[in-house]
C-alpha cells in the first residue's frame, strides 16, 4: 500500500465511523479506517425487530467473555461487541440513553473540566436529530435520527401507570431536563431502520476521495518509534503489512480491544508486557485497569397468553412482521421492543439513579440453546453506578487471542446490596400496583420462594449477565496515572489518541452508544484543532437525596 495517510483510525465501530467522517470533512487530509469485520449491509442488521437474530450471529461479534468472575463462582459472562462495520452500533439494542448530567459533572470534578455536562450537551445536540424537534437539550439537524417509541401495547401503558402509582413520576424526556423516573423509550431507529454509526456517518463519508476503508484486517499492533506512534501493523491472508501515517493513530477499538492493542504494541504495565515477552515501549501502569461495566439480571413474570406480546409472535405473526417491514417499513419489525424503562434510586443517600430498568411485554427462556418468547413480561435491570473495578490483561502475545477481562462484579458489597434492593423495588413496590397487578403476573425468576436477602443474592450470583457496557480501561484524567489526557491524547506516546469507551473515567448512568458518539464528536474537534462548541447554559433537574423518585 503506497498511499500516504495523515491519520489512521483503528476500528470502524461507533466512534471510528464518527472520527473518520469528521476528519475527512477537511479535503486536505487523507484518512485510513481499518476494521477487523466486514460489511454491515444485511436485512437482519437493518431491521430493528430482527435483533434476536443479530445477537445470536457469532460471525459478526468478537466472541469476548469475561471471567472467571471471582464473585460469581468462577462464571464466565458473554460480552457482545460488534466485529463489523459500525461495530456495536450495528448489533446493539438501539436504546438511546445519554446518561445522567451528573455523570459528566462528576468527570469534571475529577479534574476533566472540559467534560462537564455544560460542555458535553452541545455535542449531544450536534449529533442528533430528535423527531420531536430541537430545544435547549435536544438537537434538530444532526446526522443521527432519534425516534420516540410508540409504547402502544397494553403492558407498556400498564407498567408506566404502575410506576406512577408507586410514587415514581413519568419523565417527559429522560434525555433532557430530568432523567430519573419511568419513561417511554427513545431509539436509534429512523423510518423503521437501525440508525447505526455506519448509516449516519460512514456511508455519507464514503463519497469523499480522501477516505479509504480497509475491512477484514486485524490490526496487530501500533508501530511506536522513539516514543511516537508512526503507523500500524495489520494481518490479512497470512501476512503482515505495515502502514504509516504522518500525524496520528486514533484507536477506536473499544474498552477490551484498545488496551489489548496497546499492550501488544509495548504500551502498558511493564510487568505484564515482560510476562509475555513484549518489548516495553512505554511503561503505562493504567492500561487495562479501572475496567467497569453494568452487571444485570432478567426479572421475569408469566401472564396469560393473550395479555403478552407473545400472542403476536406466533409463526404467522412473525411472517407478518417480516412482510410488513420489507414491504412498508411498518409494524413490529420497526421496533426493538424495549419501549419503556426507568432510572430509579434504591436508596436515599445517592444523588442520582443507581438502577436502570428496561421493560419488555414478553419474556424469554432458553430452549435448545436459543431464546424463545413465552407469555409474560420482564425487566432487564442493571446496576448503573457500580463501585467494583476490574482489569484487562493479555491472554498471550498472539494478536488473534482475545484479552482476559475480569470485571470483579460485586467485589463491592454495596453493589450486591443495590442489586438486591433493585429487585425488591420492582417486585414488591411496582409490580404489586393495581395497573400491572390486574394481569395477575406470576413470578418466574426469581421465584416467589426466593424472598430473603440470602436467597436473592444467590439468584443474582447465578443469573448475572452483562449489559455489554465495558468502559474505563484506558482512563482519561489529569493525574499522572491517567492513560490519556482530556483530549484523548496518550500521555506516554506522541501521535497516539484514543476515542472510545475505554477512556471514560467512570461509566455513565445508561447505555453507552449515545455517550461514546458524543465523545467522538468532541474529540474529533480537538484532533482537527477546532474551537470546542460553546458550553450550554441549560439547567437540569437535581433531585433531593431524601426523596427517591422526586
Cα gap 359→341, rounded to integer Å: 5
Predicted confidence (pLDDT) per residue in 228-256, tens digit: 999 999 997 889 999 999 999 999 999 99
> Hey, how many other C-beta atoms are within 10 angstroms of the C-beta on 305?
12
User: Which residues have a catalytic role annotated?
Assistant: 469
CB 173 within 8 A of CB 137: yes
Q: Which three-class secondary structure state does DSSP give residue 472?
A: coil
DSSP letter at 422 equals H
Domain limits of the chain?
1-145+194-290+473-532, 150-184+295-385+410-463
DSSP bridge pairs for 390: 291
Helix (H) or strand (E) holding 257: helix 254-264
* Contact call for residues 252 and 16 (beta carbons, < 8 A): yes
* 8 Å CB contact between 407 and 291: yes
What is the sign of the dihedral through the CA atoms of 214, 217, 218 and 224? negative
pLDDT at 148: 98
Q: Show the cell assigned to 405.
A: 477481562
Nearest to 442 by CA among 317, 334, 533, 307: 307
- Res 318: pLDDT: 87
CATH topology of domain 150-184+295-385+410-463: Cholesterol Oxidase; domain 2 (3.30.410)
**CATH code at 1-145+194-290+473-532:** 3.50.50.60
pTM: 0.96
pLDDT at position 364 is 82
Residues 30 and 527: their CA atoms lie apart, in Å, by 14
Grid cell digits, residue 454:
440470602
pLDDT tens per residue across all 550 residues of the chain: 446 899 999 999 999 999 999 999 999 999 999 999 999 999 999 999 999 889 889 999 999 999 999 999 999 999 999 999 999 999 999 999 999 999 999 999 999 999 999 999 999 999 999 999 999 999 999 999 999 999 999 999 999 999 999 999 999 999 999 999 999 999 999 999 999 999 999 999 999 999 999 999 999 999 999 999 999 999 978 899 999 999 999 999 999 999 999 999 999 999 999 999 999 999 999 999 999 999 999 999 999 999 999 988 888 888 999 999 999 999 999 999 999 999 999 999 999 999 999 999 999 887 777 777 889 999 999 999 999 999 999 999 999 999 999 999 999 999 999 999 999 999 999 999 999 999 999 999 999 999 999 999 999 999 999 999 999 999 999 999 999 999 999 999 999 999 999 999 999 999 999 999 999 999 999 999 999 999 999 999 987 665 555 5
Q: What is the dihedral of CA 406, 255, 416, 299, to 10 degrees?
A: -110
Task: Enumerate the H helices of 138-199 as residue ranges.
Answer: 154-165, 197
Neighbours of 96 (CB within 10 A): 24
**What is the reported pLDDT for 2?**
46
**H or E element that contains 297:** strand 295-302
Amino acid at each position: 500500500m503506497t498511499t500516504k495517510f495523515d491519520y489512521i483510525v483503528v476500528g470502524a465501530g461507533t466512534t471510528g465511523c464518527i472520527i473518520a467522517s469528521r476528519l475527512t470533512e477537511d479535503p486536505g487530509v487523507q484518512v485510513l479506517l481499518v476494521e477487523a469485520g466486514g460489511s454491515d449491509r444485511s436485512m437482519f442488521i437493518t431491521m430493528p425487530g430482527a435483533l434476536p437474530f443479530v445477537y445470536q450471529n457469532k460471525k459478526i461479534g468478537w466472541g469476548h467473555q469475561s471471567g472467571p468472575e471471582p464473585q460469581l463462582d468462577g462464571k464466565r459472562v458473554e460480552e457482545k461487541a460488534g466485529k463489523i462495520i459500525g461495530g456495536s452500533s450495528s448489533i446493539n439494542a438501539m436504546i438511546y440513553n445519554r446518561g445522567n448530567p451528573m455523570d459528566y459533572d462528576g468527570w469534571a470534578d475529577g479534574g476533566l473540566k472540559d467534560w462537564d455536562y455544560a460542555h458535553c450537551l452541545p455535542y449531544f445536540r450536534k449529533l442528533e436529530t430528535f423527531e420531536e424537534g430541537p430545544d435547549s437539550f435536544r438537537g434538530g439537524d444532526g446526522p443521527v435520527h432519534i425516534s420516540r417509541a410508540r409504547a402502544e401495547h397494553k403492558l407498556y401503558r400498564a407498567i408506566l401507570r404502575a410506576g406512577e402509582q408507586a410514587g415514581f413520576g413519568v419523565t417527559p424526556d429522560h434525555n433532557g431536563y430530568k432523567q430519573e423516573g419511568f419513561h417511554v423509550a427513545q431509539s436509534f431507529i429512523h423510518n423503521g431502520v437501525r440508525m447505526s454509526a455506519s448509516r449516519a456517518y460512514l456511508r455519507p463519508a464514503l463519497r469523499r476521495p480522501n477516505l479509504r476503508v480497509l475491512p477484514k484486517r486485524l490490526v496487530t499492533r501500533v508501530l511506536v518509534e522513539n516514543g511516537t506512534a508512526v503507523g500500524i501493523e495489520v494481518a490479512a491472508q497470512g501476512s503482515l503489512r505495515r502502514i504509516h501515517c504522518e500525524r496520528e493513530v486514533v484507536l477506536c477499538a473499544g474498552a477490551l480491544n484498545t488496551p489489548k492493542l496497546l499492550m501488544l504494541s509495548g504500551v502498558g504495565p511493564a510487568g505484564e508486557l515482560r510476562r509475555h515477552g513484549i518489548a516495553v515501549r512505554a511503561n503505562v501502569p493504567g492500561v487495562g485497569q479501572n475496567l467497569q461495566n453494568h452487571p444485570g439480571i432478567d426479572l421475569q413474570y408469566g401472564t396469560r397468553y393473550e395479555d403478552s406480546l407473545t400472542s403476536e409472535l406466533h409463526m404467522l405473526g412473525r411472517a407478518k412482521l417480516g412482510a410488513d417491514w420489507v414491504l412498508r417499513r411498518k409494524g413490529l419489525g420497526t421496533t426493538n421492543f424495549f419501549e419503556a424503562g426507568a432510572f430509579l434510586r434504591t436508596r436515599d443517600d445517592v444523588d442520582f439513579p443507581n438502577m436502570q430498568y428496561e421493560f419488555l411485554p414478553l419474556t424469554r427462556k432458553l430452549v435448545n440453546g436459543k431464546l424463545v418468547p413465552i407469555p409474560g413480561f420482564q425487566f432487564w435491570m442493571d446496576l448503573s453506578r457500580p463501585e467494583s473495578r476490574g482489569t484487562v490483561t493479555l491472554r498471550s502475545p498472539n494478536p488473534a487471542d482475545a484479552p482476559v477481562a475480569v470485571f470483579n462484579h460485586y467485589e463491592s458489597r454495596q453493589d450486591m446490596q443495590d442489586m438486591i434492593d433493585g429487585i425488591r423495588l420492582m417486585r414488591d413496590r411496582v409490580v404489586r400496583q393495581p395497573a400491572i397487578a390486574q394481569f395477575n403476573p406470576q413470578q418466574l425468576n426469581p421465584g416467589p420462594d426466593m424472598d430473603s436477602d440470602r436467597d436473592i443474592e444467590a439468584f443474582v450470583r447465578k443469573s448475572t449477565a452483562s449489559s455489554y457496557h465495558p468502559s474505563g480501561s484506558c482512563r482519561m484524567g489529569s493525574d499522572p496515572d491517567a492513560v490519556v489526557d482530556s483530549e484523548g491524547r496518550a500521555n506516554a506516546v506522541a501521535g497516539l489518541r484514543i476515542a472510545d469507551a475505554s477512556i471514560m473515567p467512570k461509566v455513565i448512568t445508561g447505555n453507552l452508544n449515545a455517550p461514546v458518539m458524543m465523545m467522538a464528536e468532541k474529540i474529533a474537534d480537538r484532533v482537527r484543532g477546532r474551537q470546542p462548541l460553546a458550553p450550554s447554559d441549560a439547567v437540569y433537574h437535581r433531585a433531593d437525596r431524601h426523596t427517591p423518585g422526586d
